[in-house]
Amino acid sequence: MSAIIYGWKDKKDDQSFWLRFAACTREPESWKEEVYAAARQITERTKKPIWICSSGGIDSEIACRAFFDQGIPFSVLSLEHTAGTNQYDIRYTTEWCEAHKVPQKIVKIDMQEFLTTGIEKYVERYPAVHPFRYIQIKLMELVEQEGGFALLCSGEQVYWTTDLKKPELTRDDLYLQFSNGTVMPLEWCKDNGTDHEPYFHFMTPELCLAYLRLPIIELATRNPGAIFRHPINAYFLKRMAYMTVWTDIKPRQKFDGYERIQMKLSERSLEHLQKVNGPRFMPRNISVPEFERQLTGA
């Protein structure tokens, strides 16, 4: 499973959520080589047909390339919104699959209906503030019906900063944010006695640490004031990092897919979940130095 280790304190007066990362068992190679290594681990991990769930973003394309470059067979599963709200995004994955002769299955989904009533069967057992967690579970359900192994391309290392008003930002001010919702796809796998990978880019500690050591990422995290003053730069940095490794990848922005949909639970559901789960909604922020210490076992 992923490099993420998590749980709840489950004490009478403290049921807060905790999360940390496993330490590397070896010195990481380059990030590209670690992406390839993660793909090979998937093939060793399962005997089922591999389905990469691709939205058309760069994260998805890199996962597809990792398998394709090594001659590992796989298929692609994509969701097409019936309202057409992800036409811009999905064309990237469709064009890529056609160009590389990779089989693709497109499933149409009424995203508005799914986000308002379709998630009701999940919310009680799998509480999450961000409905994307339920889309992850839906994708794994679809691949499970195909008798396959689902690989979702989540787990991007996007760094945030604590206080933009500080005159000087340091590396200690940068963090990754998680919550109980982050692990709900993993909980779904446990409950159903099945194995899928919802966080490919967090799959191994070596993969995480290799990304953190990319020269452009090291430069940015050691000089955060030059990058992180504007929130949009966090995603710009990720795209630039990816494109320094895969130099021929087409630049793109998330234009009208998941990010353009009003992705929140209904007020009734959200109020109910907050009442029932209380402190489990508290975020878990891991600073970049702490993240590195966990990965290195320092």
Average pLDDT over residues 142-169: 89
Q: How far is CA 151 from the centre of its chain?
A: 10
Residue 7 pLDDT class (50, 70, 90 cuts): confident
Residue 254 pLDDT class (50, 70, 90 cuts): low
pLDDT at 61: 94
Looking at this protein, which amino acid is placed at residue 64?
C
Residue 142 pLDDT class (50, 70, 90 cuts): very high
DSSP the chain: --SEEEEE--BTTB--EEEEEPPPSS----HHHHHHHHHHHHHHH-SSPEEEE--SSHHHHHHHHHHHHTT---EEEEEEETT-TTHHHHHHHHHHHHHHT--EEEEEE-HHHIIIIITHHHHTTS--SSTHHHHHHHHHHHHHHTT-EEEEB------EES-TTSSS--GGGEEEEE-GGGGHHHHHHHHTT---BSBGGGS-HHHHHHHHTSHHHHHHHHSGGGTTTSTHHHHHHHHHHHHHHSTTSPP----SSGGGS-----HHHHHHHHHHHGGGG--EEEEHHHHHHHHHT-
| Residue-range domain boundaries for the chain | 4-296
User: From CA 232, how far away is CA 211, in angstroms rounded?
Assistant: 19
Average pLDDT over residues 105-109: 96
Please tell me the CATH code under which domain 4-296 is placed.
Answer: 3.40.50
Phi, psi of 265 (to 5 degrees): -70, 160
pTM greater than 0.85 = yes
Classify residue 7 as exposed, middle or buried by CB count within 10 Å of its CB (0-12, 13-18, 19+).
exposed
The residue ranking higher by pLDDT, 258 or 10, is: 10
pLDDT at 270: 55
pLDDT at 273: 52
3-state secondary structure 149-181: EEEEECCCCCCEECCCCCCCCCHHHEEEEECHH
Residue 277 predicted with pLDDT over 60: no
**Lowest model confidence (mean pLDDT) among 159-173, 187-201, 204-218:** 159-173
Q: Of 178, 213, 158, 171, nearest to 20 (Cα)?
A: 178
pLDDT at 280: 53
Residue 8 pLDDT class (50, 70, 90 cuts): confident
User: From CA 203, how far away is CA 210, in angstroms rounded?
Assistant: 12
Residue 257 predicted with pLDDT over 70: no
pLDDT at 262: 45
Average pLDDT over residues 221-244: 86
pLDDT at 265: 41
| Average pLDDT of every residue of the chain | 87
Average pLDDT over residues 162-184: 87
pLDDT, tens only, 126-136: 888 777 888 99
pLDDT at 272: 54
Residue 163 predicted with pLDDT over 90: no
User: From CA 41, how far away is CA 35, in angstroms rounded?
Assistant: 10
Q: How far is CA 221 from the centre of its chain?
A: 20
**Lowest model confidence (mean pLDDT) among 8-22, 41-55, 134-148:** 8-22
pLDDT at 29: 98
pLDDT, tens only, 46-72: 999 999 999 888 999 999 999 999 999
